[in-house]
A and B are shown apart, each in its own frame.
Chain A
Amino acid sequence: MSNEKEPLLTIEDLTVSFDGFKAVDGLNFSMDRNELRVIIGPNGAGKTTVLDLICGKTRATGGKILFKDRELRGMPEHKIVRFGIGRKFQTPSIYENLTVFENLEISYPSGHSVFGCLAFRRTPEVIERIESVAEAVFLKEMLEIEGAFLSHGQKQWLEIGMLLMQEPELLMLDEPVAGMSPAERERTGDLLQRICKNRAILIIEHDMEFVQRIAHKVTVLHLGKILAEGSMAEIQSNERVQDVYLGH
Chain B
Amino acid sequence: MKSILRKFLGGREGAVGIALLALIVFAVLPMTLDIFRLNLVGKYLTYGFVAVGLVLLWGNSGVLSLGQGIFFGLGGYCIAMFLKLEASSPANTAIQSTPGIPDFMDWNQITHLPAIWVPFRSLPFALLAVILLPTLIAFIVGAAMFKRRVGGVYFAVITQALALILSLGIDGNQGLTGGRNGITDLRTLWGWDIRTQSAQYVLYYVCGALLIGCILISRWVLSTRMGRLLLAIKDREDRVRFSGYDVASFKVFAFSLSAAMCGIGGAMFVLQVGFISPSLVGIVPSIEMVIYAAVGGKMSLLGAVYGTLAVNTGKSLFSENFPQLWPFFMGGLFIAVVMLFPNGIAGVWQSMRVRFIQLRHSAKRAPALASAPSAPTPLLEGSEV
Contact = CB atoms under 8 A, between A and B. Distances in A.
A120 B224 contact: yes
Contacts of A77: 241-242
A105 B243 contact: no
A93 B236 contact: yes
B232 A98 contact: yes
Contacts of B243: 81, 106-107, 162, 166
A89 B240 CA distance: 12
Contacts of B231: 95, 97-98
A117 B239 contact: no
Contact of B225 (A111, A162, A166): A111
Interface stretch (B48-56, B244-252, B359-367): B244-252
B57 to A, nearest CB: 14
A95 B242 CA distance: 12
Interface in B239-267: 239-247, 249-250, 253
Given A102-B228, A106-B228, A95 B235 contact: yes
Contacts of B244: 78, 81-82, 107, 109, 112, 166
B10 to A, nearest CB: 16
Question: Chain B binding site: helix, strand, loop or mixed by DSSP?
Answer: helix
B378 interface: yes
B254 to A, nearest CB: 10
Contacts of A166: 243-244
A208 interface: no
A95 B236 contact: yes
Contacts of A81: 241-244
Given A81-B244, A106-B243, A166-B243, A118 B221 contact: yes
Interface string B207-246: 0000000000000010011101101101110111111111
Most chain A CB within 10 A, of B235, B242, B249, is at B242
Interface size band for B: 20 to 34
A47 interface: no
Interface in A64-89: 76-78, 81-82, 86-87, 89
Interface string A206-226: 000000000000000000000
A114 B235 contact: no
Contacts of A89: 239, 242
Contacts of A86: 242
A106 B232 contact: yes
A146 B378 contact: yes
A114 B232 contact: no
A76 B248 CA distance: 12
Contacts of A55: 242
A106 B224 contact: no
Nearest to B254: A114
Contacts of B250: 114, 117
Nearest to B243: A107
B321 to A, nearest CB: 42
Nearest to A166: B244
Interface string A140-181: 000000100100000000000010001000000000000000
Contacts of A109: 244
A123 interface: no
A145 B381 CA distance: 15
A112 B244 CA distance: 7
A162 B245 CA distance: 14
A13 interface: no
Contact of B226 (A76, A82, A114): A114
Contacts of B232: 95, 97-98, 106
Given A109-B244, A114-B249, A146-B378, A93 B225 contact: no
B255 to A, nearest CB: 12
Most chain B CB within 10 A, of A87, A112, A114, A146, is at A114
B239 A95 contact: yes
Interface of A: 55, 57, 76-78, 81-82, 86-87, 89, 93-98, 102, 105-107, 109, 111-114, 117-120, 146, 149, 162, 166
Interface of B: 221, 224-226, 228-229, 231-232, 234-236, 238-247, 249-250, 253, 378, 381
24 contacts: A55-B242, A57-B242, A76-B246, A78-B242, A82-B244, A86-B242, A89-B239, A93-B239, A95-B236, A96-B235, A97-B231, A97-B232, A97-B235, A97-B381, A105-B228, A106-B240, A107-B243, A109-B244, A111-B225, A112-B246, A113-B249, A117-B224, A117-B226, A118-B221
Given A106-B243, A118-B226, 16 more contacts: A55-B242, A77-B241, A77-B242, A81-B244, A82-B244, A87-B242, A89-B242, A93-B242, A96-B235, A97-B235, A98-B228, A106-B228, A106-B240, A112-B244, A117-B229, A120-B224
